[in-house]
Structures are given as structure tokens and as C-alpha cells.
Structure 1
Amino acid sequence: MKIYNARCQCGSAIKMEMREDFSGQIFCGLCKKLIMSTLTQNNLEENLQRVGDYLLLKVLGHGCAGNVYLAHRDNDSKQVAIKIFDSTDQQIATRFNENIQTLSRLHHPNLIKIQGWGNHNNKMYIVMEYLKGETLKDRLQREVLPARRTLKIAYYILDALGYAHRKNIVHRDIKPGNLYITGEGMVKVIDLGIAKILGKTVSKTTNGEVVGNVEYTAPEQMENIQNISFQSDIYSVGATMFHCLCGRPPYAEYQGNLLQTFMGKKRNKYIALREQNPSLPPAVLHVVEKAMSYNGNDRYQTCDEMKEEVYELINILPK
């Protein structure tokens, strides 16, 4: 016999004493909800996976860096999201520890809150607030957003990034998949796992690859990862707005091919937003085109500068 401790999503604590030949289902004694089905001793350990003081309940999402889980904290019924990184590389762990200290001190309503971190089986993990809603990527799979709604989303992103930039932090991977829209309509910048303090040197990125989705990545970031600046994030905000306003990202005609996209960015050659959505107001097109200028010096130089222009347009455009 072996004793296991679990917790239902309703918050009820469950203590189980199992025989080695157990096979069956487990229901919560309080809410009667089915917790686990087709459970056997062989897969019990996997189903009751724990990370630190947390019980993992289910997978929320998969990413290139690792998985994100819904979890319960032991001493209460609070739900959190835990991202467990796949890598066990010591250099990555060192960089993680250096960056997480700074990231955990960021407090802004449009940045996801980091509530803790640690090491589990030689893999780093981050404990974050659990958000109910969907990513902007999910939303864009269903609809093209109106100009005013796109501008409001951009405003909140810029407010969060401006705060991070003043702390000398560049996100480096702004894209629809890293932007979350809660059930209350709040915009949150998520997945700060690859954010870096400017001026800190690293050996290279994992496998020597470019960080970020190529469609949203600034040209200088693709050429040399050491060239990343605050204007690189501003480019990615512009590229995200581009996607919102026409239903596909810039350079989508290259179908995600890294080399072709890189050469297209070198030539600054892509199907312009004004061609893909001719009905957009010229002032909105100007904001996106300026943010996505090939030369960083031609872009908005700060998030606050771009945010002010976005705010003016929000108040001018019809609701």
C-alpha cells in the first residue's frame, strides 16, 4: 500500500491509500467531480506529478521552451500556471537565475505576475498567475480585428513594454502567441522566459537559432542577436498590429521559410498592409509602417512616443 495526496480543482484535499493492483476511477468526495479516469498504479505517479509545493492538474499549453501546467498550491486552493522548461543545460539555468530575479520584480497590470520559481528534476520552472481567456493568436484565428480594437490592444502592450524598457529589459519575442486577453478584456504580455537584460552577454541562443517568430522579428534581430534594442520590441508590436488588421502576419507570403523571410527583410520586401486592407485609415497605416521601419532609427524611439500617437487615434476613430 502507498499513500498519495492530491487536490481537486474545487480545492478539496484528497488522501488516497492505493494497492499495487489498483485500477479504476477517482472522484472528489466534496463536489463528486471525476478527477482521474482509467487510473492504474503504473500511471498514478505521472498523473499526480508534483513540482515543489504544487500539484499539477493539467497541461495548459506547449511551447518551444517547455510546457505550461495548471496547478494547485498545497496550503490553499489557489490556482496558478507553472511553466517547466525542457532544457537541463547548466548555462541556461545560470542565465535563467540571473534573469528571473529581475523579472520577478516587474509589477505592471499588463505584465503577467511571476509568483515564484525553482528547480524540478534539474529543470527550471516559473510559477505565474493563472489567466482565464485566450491568446491573441487564438483570437486572430477567428477574426480580423477592427482598427480601434487593435489600437487599444497595442496601447496596453506599449504601456507594459515601456515599463519594462525603463527597467532596461527587452522582451525579444512579442507576437500574438505571447499576448493574452483575459475574460475581462485585459491584455497581458506573457512568456517573459527569453527576455534579457540589455548589456548582459550570452554565449548563444539554444542551438544557435534566432530567437522569436521570424514574421514578427525585427530585421536587426535576425541579422545579429546582439543588435537587439528597445526598437526591436517596437517593430514586433507593429508586426503584431499588422496581423490584427489584415488577418495574417507580414512576410506571410514566404510561408515561414527562414531564409526567404530573412532575404525579404533584408530587401524590406513584403505585401504592404495598405494592399491587404485598403479600407484602413491612413493614420493607422502610418503607425504600423513607422513601427515596422527597416531602420531602427526611423521607428518610434520609445514605447511612450508610439503610445501617445496610438492614444490620439483611439479617441478619433469611431467606436
Structure 2
Amino acid sequence: MHLQPDSLLQGRYRVGALLAQGGMGAVYQATDERLGHTVALKQTLMHDPALRAAFEREARLLAALSHPTLPVVSDHFVEQDGQFLVMQFIPGSDLAGLLKARGTPFTPAEVEPWAMSLLAALEYLHGRQPPIIHRDIKPQNLKPAAHGGVILLDFGLAKGHTGNLATATSASLFGYTPQFAPIEQIQGSGTDARSDLYAVAATLYNLLVGTPPVDALTRVSAVVKGEADPLLPADELNSTLSSALANALKLGLSINPDQRPSSAVAMRDVLRAAFHSSSHASGASGLGDAFGGGLRPPPTPPLEPAAALGEGLRPPLEPAAALDEGLRPPLQPAAALDEGLRPPLQPATNTTQAQVRGVTPPHEPLSTRQAFMPIALFGILLVSLCVGAGFMLLATLFTPSATSVVTPPVDGPPDAAQGYSRANPLPVGTPLEFHDWRVEVLEQVRGDEAYERLRRANANNGPPREGMEYLLVNYRLTSTARESQAVPGNALRILGPRSTAYEQTANVPPEPRLPRSGDVASGGVVEGWAAYMLGQEEEQLLLVLGENSILAAPRFVALTPNASLSPLEDRSGLDPDEQGQAWRSPATTGQTVITDDWVIRIDEVLRGAAAWERISAHSRSAEPAPAGYEYVLAYVSMRYIGSEEKAQLIYQSYFTVSVGDRESESEHVSFISPEPQLRALLFPGGSTAGWIVLTSVADDPDVRIVFKSNSITFRPDGFNTRYFAIPSPWSSTFVTPSNSGGWKTS
């Protein structure tokens, strides 16, 4: 719904110019005729009743904020099909626009006050109860302020305590901007204060070197496949920056949240020392001093990729966990993994610059210990590789077969392998100690009764989709960490025979509600209901724990008695084919393509006017394609057949458009695609189907849809890259998919 200029809302707000437009709304300049002030009117379009209810809660939360770095929210209301926030109008260009206009990076002296101002705002937001996580910090959402700092914009698009609402209504397709989002946000596995700190580091990196950092998913894929982290140090791209400042940015950009600064205050201390450094040596010393002031550097022993990126701080392995280690990628040398993932340790007072950078001055002879240190490290690495290979063999030999599990008495300890596969989950009612949490399921309600409880909890909770039903689970979570930690968020998922890991819905659960964000003190307990929507035919259900990182092995607990799910063992007919491997020999609409990890079929393709008609009917906030371009709307069926018994996220970003044997450089589509959207977290054997929206050069016959998987595998990306032909603009092809997305589920 576009607002007409000069229209009057609430008898008070006179609509002016359109300032910006995003996926599910827009921002207008308006005049408050009662007070005579210029205001920013943020319009959000929400068709989900649960989201509308959450909007009012969040609007009240935002209106209570008061900080010099945050715009004032003065009013909120609902009118026609839109929900509106009235906010302080901040004139001028944002930092992204200023960076583009000047053509060169900002200097550290210019960036420092902006960084300190931004971190002060985050200290305020993260300290609220419940904590407020912004989730979309980037240069486009920052404007210089008269006080010398910045104003943090883009509040009101549901980034507070409402859980999935952030994903549903953020300005980017799935609630984030890829180059500025951490891996836990890209994966949709829950965010906390450290997620915002990653975005701060990415933003400062962008301002100081002139380009944004490599996105986190690309970095994870490279490191796990044994390649170097593609993130270049900031001082390599801008030689005027000190190594201390570059290392501080690397610390904030750590893939593992546990290796980032623990709070906005800690990050401010690190950055202040780094900004004030005048040379590489003094900069490194200052960074070490900041660690001594309460922020400790990560441990120095060599780490496996999974530990460095996904497991962070973890107690010694029990036998079951040791078996799981065999499923991890090969070990990397400590230096290769640590480069860019941790700051330099604080040197001694008389340490030279060469020592700070890890180089021994030539005039200083090596001690016996120093001389044998490389040999010792190599020996440790070799032994670790052998141990890892042994564990992998053990895991292969002793993984239980896909048979029903008889629930043993809960007071007896489970066997070492139990809980590490879908076929052999822990029994119903087993409390599980995992990742510094003790997780207990207190009660379950499913079907009509679950919907009735949801309806009584909030009138805006609508019925389930066709073929689906609600499940309510009452959890008790006990923190066993030594310090406070964030609620695990979407780490609690439900898995059934469809091999789809279901996340919590955006519905308002009954009281007490399980918190979706916030911190829990050491020994603290939170209890409450969580709501899920799953297939009506899925009788055997498991609780999946620990998928907070794409590198973390999951744990499985039965929710229904004797539940056991067969992994994908029958791979007959699933050998990779050559369909669509070359740009000039693309697959066609309706043709099934098999890669190493995926079975893919594009069932329907609409482009040009036909695509725009479908898109505009779904999203009234959508804008026509830019001049010379057209939309490409495709319905895609996917089945995951990867060999690793882990979940894989599939969504629109795996697809691009190629024009004339090259990737299109068109803008990424920001509005929400028609329902059902292509987005699911699948275990091997799982399938899904949905719409994707792309942009292409208009009326060009040499256009391809390109699928390129970012799966965590040891094979080159080419094994999972395929090309699909696009029909001419005046025709389309459709193959009717089955209810399960067109694939047989095992």
C-alpha cells in the first residue's frame, strides 16, 4: 500500500516524500500538524495476525528508549493495512552514501567517534530487559550526528524480543545484510549481543577500507574445506591502518561468537586502544592491555576447525562427544586457523616489534625449547590427525542401525553413541546436558488442543496451514555455564519423518512463554512454552539440539515413545548426473538434476509481466523492476542428499541469474517472495519446495538460473553448481509438484 503525498493519517500526520522502501514497508517524511514538526513515518505491512500483535508490543518497547544515539519514537498506530511508527526525522546522508560520495575510505580519526557512539548505543540496548538486538547494523543505517557520533536508524522493523519477527520483517530478505551478518544470523539459529558486535566490526571494516568484508558463510565454507580464510586483514587493504586496529577488527569478525568481545563495553575498550595506537608495536601492546582489563584472549593451543568456528569454549570430551569428533573436518595448522580469528597476545614490556608480529629477531639465538617447538607442534598435529581418523572409523563402525529404540529407565545412563543419530535418539524424558545447558521437556500438546491453547493465548494466532498442525512444547532450560549466557533461541528444533528441522513459529505461545532472547545467569532457570508447526502425518518426533552452528553436531532426544528416524541409506538412483553442468547445456524446466548433495527441479518459471503480476499480487510494497531489467519468479523443488548426517539450510541466496555466460550484477531482491517461500533446514533425505525471486536483463534469450551450493563439504563448489534455462518471456512451463515437494522421502 503506497501512501499518497499530502494524505493525512490519524488526522495528524501529513505524508510527504518517500524516503526509502524495503521488503515489507517504507519510510516517508511527514509533518506532525499538531506540533508542526517534521517526522519520519515508518510503514510496515504485515498480513500475519501474530506479527501484528507483536508489532504493538515492540512499538511500546521502542517508544520507551531514550539515548542520544537513537532516534526518538513518539507514536505508533494501525491504519488501513499498515502499522506505523512515528520517529524523529534525521536529515542528511547515511555513512554508506558519504563513503560512496568521497570515493576513499574514512580515516581512523573520523571513524573512532562514530564507533564509540555506536557502541555506547549498543551498551544501552543490550542492557535493557529484555535486551534489544538490532540485527541489521551497517553503514546504510548510520547517520552522522551533530554531537560528533552517529544516529542508529532502522528501528521499528521488529528487531526486539519478538523472536522470528525479526526474520519476517527486516529490510533484507531474511532479516540481515549478508556482508554484515554473523554466521549464526545467516543460519537463523539465534542471535545475541555478540551478533551485533560482529556487524559493528564489519561496518567499521567497510568504512576504513572502502569495501565490506567477505560474508560469513563464504568464510566458513572456505575454512572447513581446508582453504585460507578469505577475509583479508584491514591493514592489507589500507596500509595506513595499524596492525592493532586490523587485529581488533578481526577479533570482532570472529566466526565463533565465543571469540568475539563479550559485550559492547569490552569491544569499546579493545577498539579505543587500537584507535589510539601510533605504530604496529604500540598498537599490539595497547590491545594486550585491553585484554588485561577484563577481556581475555582466546586460548592459544591449536584448534580444530569445528572448535575454532563452532564449538568455542567446551568442556573435555566425553566418550560420546569423542565419537562425534570423528565427523569433523581434518585438522588445520594452528597458525592457519588462528590467523584472523584472535588478537595478538600481550607482549612483555621489552618486546620488540618483530616479536609482536611473531618473528624472532635474527641476533637473538634460539633456546633449546624454542628450537624444538616447531617439531613438537608438528608432532602434536600429526597425533591429532591420527586420533581424529581413528574416531571417524569408530563412529562409522559403531553408529547404530535404523531400528526402533525401546525407552530405557531414565535413571540409567544412556550408551555412549545414543543421542548422536536420528536412528538412536535419547529416550523420552531424558534431561540432556549440552553446550552449557541442561534441557528438559516438561509437557507436549499437539493438534486441535494445541491450536485451541494458542487461540486462547492470543486471538491473532491463526490456524495452521493446510496439511500442518501445531505442536506446543514446554521446556525447562538450566544454564550450567560459569557466566551468564544468551538463551539458545532457535537451537531447539523439532524433527519428523519429513527430515525437516522445524523452528519455532512467530505465534504467541501460552503463558509461561519460553524467552526467545536475553541472558540467563549461571545456574539460572527459564521455563515456558514454544510453538511449532509440522506435518499432520509426522508421528515420530525428535527434539534436535545444538544446531546453533552449522559446524556443531546435533543431539537427538525422542519426543514420542520409541521414536526413531531412519537416515538416508538407500542412495540408489541418486548418483550425480551431468545435467546442467555447463552454461551452454542447461537443464530445462521440469527436468530433474542430481548433484553430489542435492536433487533439484525447477517446476515453473515466470518472467517479465507474468512474474510482476504474481509478485505485485503478493506484495503491495514491491516496486517494478528497474529499467532494462525484469523479474524472474521460479518455483523450485529441492531434496538434500548430502552424506553428512547434519542439517543444511536451503534458501533463495543459493540461486543467481547468469546472462551471456556471466553472473548478473543486478540488485538483490529485497521484498518477500510469494508463499510458499523456498526456505528450509533439511537433514539428508529431506525435501522442500517454494518460490524464489531473481532479476535479469529484460528479454535476453541467453539467461540462466544458476544454483551454487554453499554446502559444508570437502569438494569443489563445481560439484554442486548447475545451470537452468529460462523460457522466453511470453511462455512458462509448470510441473505439478507433490505435497512433499516432488520427492520421495525416506
Q: Tell me which interval the TM-score lies in, with the shorter structure as reference length.
A: 0.7 to 0.9
Q: Deviation at 1:117?
A: 0.8
Q: Deviation at 1:314?
A: 4.4
- Change in 2 beyond 3 A, CA 1:150/1:72: same
1:250 aligned onto 2:221: no
1:282 aligned onto 2:246: no
User: Residue 688 of structure 2 corresponds to which residue in structure 1?
Assistant: none
Alignment of 1:4-153 (within 5 A): 46-52=4-10, 53-143=12-102, 144-153=105-114
Give the TM-score normalised by structure 2.
0.34
Q: Which of 158, 173, 176 lines up with 1:212 in the alignment?
A: 176
Q: Are the aligned partners of 1:153 and 1:187 in contact in 2 as well (CA < 8 Å)? A: yes
1:301 aligned onto 2:265: no
Q: Are the aligned partners of 2:137 and 2:199 in contact in 1 as well (CA < 8 Å)? A: yes
Question: Separation in 2 of the partners of 1:229 and 1:207?
Answer: 18
- Change in 2 beyond 3 A, CA 1:204/1:106: closer
Amino acid aligned to 1:284? L
User: Residue 15 of structure 1 corresponds to which residue in structure 2?
Assistant: none
User: Residue 457 of structure 2 corresponds to which residue in structure 1?
Assistant: none
- Change in 2 beyond 3 A, CA 1:276/1:309: same
Q: Deviation at 1:184?
A: 6.0
User: Residue 219 of structure 2 corresponds to which residue in structure 1?
Assistant: 264
Question: Separation in 1 of the partners of 2:166 and 2:16?
Answer: 34
Deviations 1:124-180 (A, max 9, x none): 111001112211111121231001222221111110011000011111111111111
Q: Deviation at 1:70?
A: 1.2
Amino acid aligned to 1:279? T
Question: Which aligned runs of 4 or more in structure 1 are off by greater than 6 angstroms?
Answer: none
User: Residue 22 of structure 1 corresponds to which residue in structure 2?
Assistant: none
Q: Deviation at 1:90?
A: 2.0
Deviations 1:28-74 (A, max 9, x none): xxxxxxxxxxxxxxxxx933212221001211222233211111112
Q: Are the aligned partners of 1:250 and 1:270 in contact in 2 as well (CA < 8 Å)? A: no
Q: Which runs of 5+ in 2 are unaligned?
A: 224-228, 280-746
- Change in 2 beyond 3 A, CA 1:306/1:286: same
Q: Are the aligned partners of 2:242 and 2:278 in contact in 1 as well (CA < 8 Å)? A: no
Percent identity over paired residues: 24
1:191 aligned onto 2:154: yes
Q: Which of 99, 103, 120 lines up with 1:159 in the alignment?
A: 120
Amino acid aligned to 1:150? V
Question: Separation in 2 of the partners of 1:47 and 1:202?
Answer: 33
Question: Separation in 2 of the partners of 1:197 and 1:207?
Answer: 12
- Change in 2 beyond 3 A, CA 1:70/1:175: same
Q: Deviation at 1:266?
A: 4.0
SS in 2 for 1:94: helix
Q: Deviation at 1:210?
A: 2.7
SS in 1 for 2:78: strand
Question: Separation in 2 of the partners of 1:175 and 1:93?
Answer: 26
Give the TM-score normalised by structure 1.
0.76
- Change in 2 beyond 3 A, CA 1:185/1:65: farther
Question: Separation in 2 of the partners of 1:120 and 1:317?
Answer: 55
Deviations 1:159-213 (A, max 9, x none): 0011000011111111111111246644111111345345x54378339953110
Q: Are the aligned partners of 1:274 and 1:280 in contact in 2 as well (CA < 8 Å)? A: yes
Q: Are the aligned partners of 1:175 and 1:216 in contact in 2 as well (CA < 8 Å)? A: yes
Amino acid aligned to 1:262? L
Q: Which runs of 5+ in 1 are unaligned?
A: 1-44, 253-260
- Change in 2 beyond 3 A, CA 1:315/1:117: same
Amino acid aligned to 1:210? F
Question: Separation in 2 of the partners of 1:80 and 1:140?
Answer: 26
- Structure having the larger proportion of residues in helix: 1
Q: Are the aligned partners of 1:132 and 1:182 in contact in 2 as well (CA < 8 Å)? A: no
Q: Are the aligned partners of 1:118 and 1:124 in contact in 2 as well (CA < 8 Å)? A: yes
Question: Separation in 2 of the partners of 1:188 and 1:57?
Answer: 22
User: Residue 350 of structure 2 corresponds to which residue in structure 1?
Assistant: none
Q: Deviation at 1:233?
A: 0.2
Q: Deviation at 1:315?
A: 4.6
Q: Are the aligned partners of 2:158 and 2:166 in contact in 1 as well (CA < 8 Å)? A: no
1:236 aligned onto 2:195: no
- Change in 2 beyond 3 A, CA 1:266/1:211: farther
- Change in 2 beyond 3 A, CA 1:297/1:205: same
Q: Which of 173, 176, 180 lines up with 2:139 in the alignment?
A: 176
